[in-house]
């Protein structure tokens, strides 16, 4: 098939390695700082509860969720879902992740524009990811390059989404760092380094997703651009 050629490997092998590397890095940072207790002795769930009160985010609930590093904030139900490792662990990594998710709850409460923009892109991305493929494949098969280019345009929603994700995630992390310091949940320089390490590693995975989406797009561009009518 045309998408399993050497050009594909040229674009997607670096992307794959980058995703592997960043995912390994985020896990190792998380594991390292999961073993370091936070000086406040608060678990992730307790830290989140304290931050909910201190930020006056009444109405935000905390629930637990299965899996590892599956923590997220659900704006539809105003719920902070924390994994067992974060909710029940009084470590630097646990409070860092809990505070990051709370950062998303704050964004939601403030109607933070980039968060709304990202949410608005979701339906377009869901449709674009399969419709883009189909248009590109049919366009190439029929040698209808305009159709293929339209497919690239539709498919580029994924890269746009990855781009829109960056400010949302970086902002949630910077809120988390500030909140943890302001409320005294973390105090020492070592804890500050730990929180930065965990949250910056997580941010790198979003950069890797963006790079992957761009490489995928560039692959299609090179594929269609290389065709003769």
Q: Which residues are catalytic?
A: 101
Q: How far is the CB of 167 from Zn ion (least distance, A)?
A: 11
Alpha-carbon gap, residue 97 to 51, rounded angstroms: 12
For Zn ion, which is the closer residue by CB, 50 or 81? 81
Q: How far is the CB of 169 from Zn ion (least distance, A)?
A: 5
Q: How far is the CB of 110 from Zn ion (least distance, A)?
A: 15
For Zn ion, which is the closer residue by CB, 106 or 135? 106
Q: How far is the CB of 168 from Zn ion (least distance, A)?
A: 7
For Zn ion, which is the closer residue by CB, 15 or 172? 172
For Zn ion, which is the closer residue by CB, 108 or 169? 169
Q: How far is the CB of 206 from Zn ion (least distance, A)?
A: 8
**Where does this chain bind Zn ion (CB under 5 A)?**
169, 172
Q: Which residue has the tokens 């029940």?
A: 88
Alpha-carbon gap, residue 227 to 48, rounded angstroms: 54
Number of other residues whose CB lies within 10 A of the CB of residue 229:
5
Number of other residues whose CB lies within 10 A of the CB of residue 141:
11
For Zn ion, which is the closer residue by CB, 148 or 202? 202
Across the strands, what pairs with 171? none
């Amino acid at each position: 098939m045309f998408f399993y050629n050497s050009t594909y490997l040229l674009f997607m092998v670096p992307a794959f390695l980058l995703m592997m590397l960043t995912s390994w890095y985020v896990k190792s940072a998380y594991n390292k700082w999961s073993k370091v207790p936070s000086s406040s002795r608060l678990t992730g769930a307790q830290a989140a509860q304290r931050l909910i009160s201190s930020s006056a985010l009444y109405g935000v609930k905390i629930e637990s969720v299965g899996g590892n590093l599956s923590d997220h904030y659900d704006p539809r139900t105003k719920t902070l879902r924390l994994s067992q490792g974060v909710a029940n662990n009084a470590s630097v990594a646990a409070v860092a992740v809990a505070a990051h998710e709370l950062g998303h709850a704050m964004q939601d409460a403030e109607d933070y524009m980039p968060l709304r923009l990202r949410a608005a892109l979701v339906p377009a991305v869901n449709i674009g990811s399969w419709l883009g493929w189909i248009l590109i494949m049919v366009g190439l098969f029929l040698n209808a390059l305009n159709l293929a280019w339209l497919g690239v345009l539709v498919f580029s929603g994924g890269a746009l989404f990855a781009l829109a994700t960056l400010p949302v995630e970086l902002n949630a992390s910077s809120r988390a760092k500030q909140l943890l310091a302001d409320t005294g949940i973390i105090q020492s320089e070592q804890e500050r380094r730990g929180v930065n390490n965990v949250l910056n590693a997580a941010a790198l995975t979003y950069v890797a997703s963006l790079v992957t989406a761009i490489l995928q797009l560039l692959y299609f561009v090179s594929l269609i651009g290389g065709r003769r009518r």
